Amino acid sequence: MEDVKMFEGKKILITGGTGSLGQALTRRLLENDVDTIRILSRNEEKQIKMQSQFPTKRLRFFIGDVRDKDRLKRALEDIDIVFHAAALKHVPVIEYNPFEAIRTNVVGSQNLIDACLEENVEKAICVGTDKAVSPLNTYGATKLLMEKLFVSADNYLNKNKHKTKFIALRYGNVLGSSGSVVPFFINKIKSKEKISITDEKMTRFSITMNEALDFILESVEIGQGSDIFIPKLRAYSITDLKNAIFSLYGKTQEEVIGIRAGEKLHETLINFDEIRNTIDIGNKYVILKPESKNKYKNSKPVNITMDYSSENTEKLSQEEIKKLIAENIKS
């Protein structure tokens, strides 16, 4: 993807910026000649480590939490564009501590929306997940509410006072990101431990970090506000993924343990009821706010007659999965 000119000279805030996505996004934005990037996160150790990896005066670090609205306002001073990636996301932890996820993923998102309006930023982008679609677990439910808050945020806009455009993004787990299945399987193989598979028929959407970054920056550039952007993705079966990893790293013992509470056999990016408000703009879909006008030129109706899920989309072959792992996973 070519440099996105809209970021030149801009001041950027990334909440939760010390995570896998935040660091990759920081690297890409620095290549796009931004003026400043501020990282807001809670973990000082991760900030120190990240600071050593990015020796530039254009990067600043703020210790803070999206639960703290006053700290958010301070971090947002003079900011043009906000990427909201801060979240509690580990499903078992959240199932045990549901209200903590609500405080961060829902209340924290509303705090950010309020602060963005007060500081009059240009664009605010929330990073979502396929687990927000017809959610089965608390994590998915909180991310669905985050989407709803961002899509409805323009209800607060005074057009004579506010210029902020709120944009929601929805995609699947990034291949090889922290806590994802690929590094988990590889580490198990290296330590000669048994790997656990919940169901051999399970499927998931496939997106690499570079594909995710392209999707995010393109969506921010063209986003008109109050819409949800979704990339067009292929998927893989967990069995093909496992066999591809075995082919690259050697085999280990395996067991099928059954689907865990709150887990889906297949993930969905657009459910059937959302199709009526969805348009096709080339390499991505946009879910428009109900009853809003279509502001996107050269768009067309979607050619989808059922849920856009990892079960019924085009699948990657085992050889294609091997190539993706070899090109994108450091081991």
Greatest Cα-to-Cα distance within the chain, rounded to the nearest angstrom: 63
Is 151:291 a contact under the CB 8 Å cutoff? no
- The residue type of 8 is E
Cα 33 off chain centre by = 23
The b/e string for 35-62 (b: 16+ C-beta within 10 A; e otherwise) is: ebbbbbbbeeebbeebeeeeeeebbebb
- Exposed/middle/buried for residue 228 (C-beta within 10 Å: 0-12, 13-18, 19+): buried
Q: Active-site residue among 10, 11, 123, 131?
A: 131
Q: Which residue has the tokens 């896998």?
A: 20
Assign 3-class secondary structure to 16-30: CCCCHHHHHHHHHHH
242 catalytic, yes or no? Answer: no
What is the radius of gyration, based on Cα positions, of the chain?
20
Helices 318-328 & 238-249 angle (0-180, nearest 10): 60
Residue 59's contacts (CB-CB under 8 Å, 6 or more residues apart) are 26, 30, 36, 37, 39, 51
Is 64:71 a contact under the CB 8 Å cutoff? yes
- What residues act catalytically? 131
